[in-house]
Amino acid sequence: MELKVETVDEFIVLGVPDELDNQVNSILWNTPYVENPDLTYYVYDSGSSICGKRVSKVNEMPNSCQVIIVPKGTYAVYHDDDSQHIRDMLAKTYYKVSRDFGYSITFRQSYIAHTYRYTPVEFCEDLINITKLPHLPKKQSRSLRDAYIRTFFDTDSDDYRTHYFQLYWEQGVGYLWGFLKKPFTPVHLEDVKQFLQQTDQVLFFWDSYSPIGTEISRKYVYKMQTQKLLNQYNRFTDDLYIFDETLTWTAVISHEPDPNGFYCCIAKRPAIKKVDGK
C-alpha cells in the first residue's frame, strides 16, 4: 500500500454546509458551470466544511450555499478505506501534512459509492522515513525485544494477562503499555525529554495496527539519535517504547492519556536485592 501524491491546480467548489449534504443535488441541480455533476466534493477548512460541486465560476450564489477555493498544491491521495492508515503511509515517505485542510471526491460506480481523500502535504528530506531506519539484526532484535518485555511488562502472571497478551501479539488487540509492571511514573512529554537529555542514542520500537505499520514495527528494534526521535515521535503511530541495551529503564509515549491526562510514563527496573555472602 503506497501513498500516491499529486499536484492539483486551484479550483472552486460551490456547496452547502455538510449537514445539508443530502440536499446538495436538489439545491444545485440547475446551477450553471458545474464541471461534472456526477462528482460530489466534501471540503473542510479550519473547522468548517461544505458538500458541493466543482464549478468553473460563480455568477450567482444559490440560497444556503458557500464557496471554498481549493488552493493549488501537493496532495496525498488515498481511498477512504485507507484513511485509518494514512499516518503509516506518510511515515513511509518524506512527506508530512502541511495544513488543516483537505477535500474528498465521491462518485458511484456500478451503484457503489467510492470516495478518495486529498490531504495537502509537503516534502521534507529531514523527516524520519520508517523504511530507512537503522536497526539491529533481526535475531538480536527479537531477543532484545523479548527481554525488554519480560523486564518491564507482566504478560503471564495469571490466565487473564496471558490470554490478552496473546491477543495483543497475534491479533493486534489492546496495547502493550496496559501490561506495564508497577511501579511506573506517569509523566508529560517534556519530562521524558528531560529524562533522556543526557542520552545520545536510544533503542525503540512502536506499535502500529495497520498492515503497513505492523510489518515494519514488529520486525526489528531500531536505533536513533535521541533528540531526532523525540522531535519527530509523532511519525510513529500509536505507542512508542524507548530504552537502551542495559534494560534498566524505559520511557513510553502512548497515543491516549491515562485518567489523569498523562500521555507518557517512565519505569525503572527494580534493583536486584543482594543476599549477604553471595
Q: Tell me, yes or no, whether 158 and 201 share the same domain.
A: yes
Q: Tell me, yes or no, whether 116 and 144 share the same domain.
A: no
For the ranges 25-34, 85-94, 179-188, the lowest mean pLDDT is seen at 25-34
Whole-number pLDDT of residue 208 = 81
Q: Tell me, yes or no, whether 28 and 98 share the same domain.
A: yes
Whole-number pLDDT of residue 271 = 63
- Concatenate the DSSP letters of all residues of 138-196 into one string: HHHHHHHHHHHHHHHB--SSSHHHHHHHHHHHHH--S-GGGGBPSP-EEE-HHHHHHHT
| Residue the block writes with cell 531526532 | 228
8 A C-beta contact, residue 160 and residue 153: no
Q: Is residue 130 part of a domain?
A: no
Q: Is residue 245 part of a domain?
A: yes
Q: Is residue 186 part of a domain?
A: yes
Q: Is residue 131 part of a domain?
A: no
Q: Tell me, yes or no, whether 166 and 143 share the same domain.
A: yes
- Residue 213: alpha-carbon gap to chain centroid: 10
> Edge-to-edge, what's the strand order for the sheet holding 249-253?
185-187, 264-268, 249-253, 240-243, 201-206, 222-225
pLDDT in tens, 138-175: 999 999 999 999 999 999 889 989 999 998 888 778 88
Q: What is the CATH number of the domain that holds 62?
A: 3.20.80.10
Rounded Cα distance, 143 and 146, in Å: 5
Q: Is residue 150 part of a domain?
A: yes
Q: Is residue 278 part of a domain?
A: no
Whole-number pLDDT of residue 60 = 84
Q: Tell me, yes or no, whether 57 and 172 share the same domain.
A: no
Single pTM value for the model: 0.84
Longest dimension (CA), the chain: 94
Residue scoring higher pLDDT (45 or 41) = 41
Band (pLDDT 50/70/90 cuts) for residue 275 is low
**Domain enclosing residue 27, as ranges:** 4-123
pLDDT in tens, 105-140: 999 888 889 999 999 999 999 999 999 999 999 999
- Concatenate the DSSP letters of all residues of 198-235 into one string: T-SEEEEEE---SHHHHHHHTT--EEEEHHHHHHTGGG
Domain termination residue (choose one: 123, 153, 180): 123
Q: Tell me, yes or no, whether 182 and 72 share the same domain.
A: no
Domain termination residue (choose one: 62, 88, 123): 123
Whole-number pLDDT of residue 110 = 81
Q: What is the mean pLDDT of residues 234-245?
A: 91
Q: Has residue 68 got a pLDDT over 70?
A: yes
Q: Tell me, yes or no, whether 109 and 147 share the same domain.
A: no
Q: Has residue 273 got a pLDDT over 80?
A: no
Please count the structural domains in the chain: 2
Strands (E), 3-129: 4-8, 11-17, 40-45, 48-55, 66-70, 73-79, 95-97, 101-109, 112-123
Whole-number pLDDT of residue 74 = 98
Q: Is residue 132 part of a domain?
A: no
Domain termination residue (choose one: 123, 155, 182): 123
Q: Tell me, yes or no, whether 106 and 165 share the same domain.
A: no
Band (pLDDT 50/70/90 cuts) for residue 201 is very high
pLDDT in tens, 27-43: 888 888 999 999 999 99
Q: Tell me, yes or no, whether 106 and 42 share the same domain.
A: yes
8 A C-beta contact, residue 260 and residue 186: yes
**CA geometry: angle 21, 26, 27, nearest 5 deg:** 75
Q: Tell me, yes or no, whether 142 and 264 share the same domain.
A: yes
Q: Tell me, yes or no, whether 40 and 96 share the same domain.
A: yes
Q: Which helix (H) or strand (E) segment is 90 a member of?
A: helix 86-91
Average pLDDT, the chain: 90
Gyration radius (Cα) of the chain, Å: 24
8 A C-beta contact, residue 53 and residue 42: no
8 A C-beta contact, residue 227 and residue 138: no
Q: Has residue 183 got a pLDDT over 60?
A: yes
Q: Tell me, yes or no, whether 80 and 151 share the same domain.
A: no
8 A C-beta contact, residue 204 and residue 221: yes
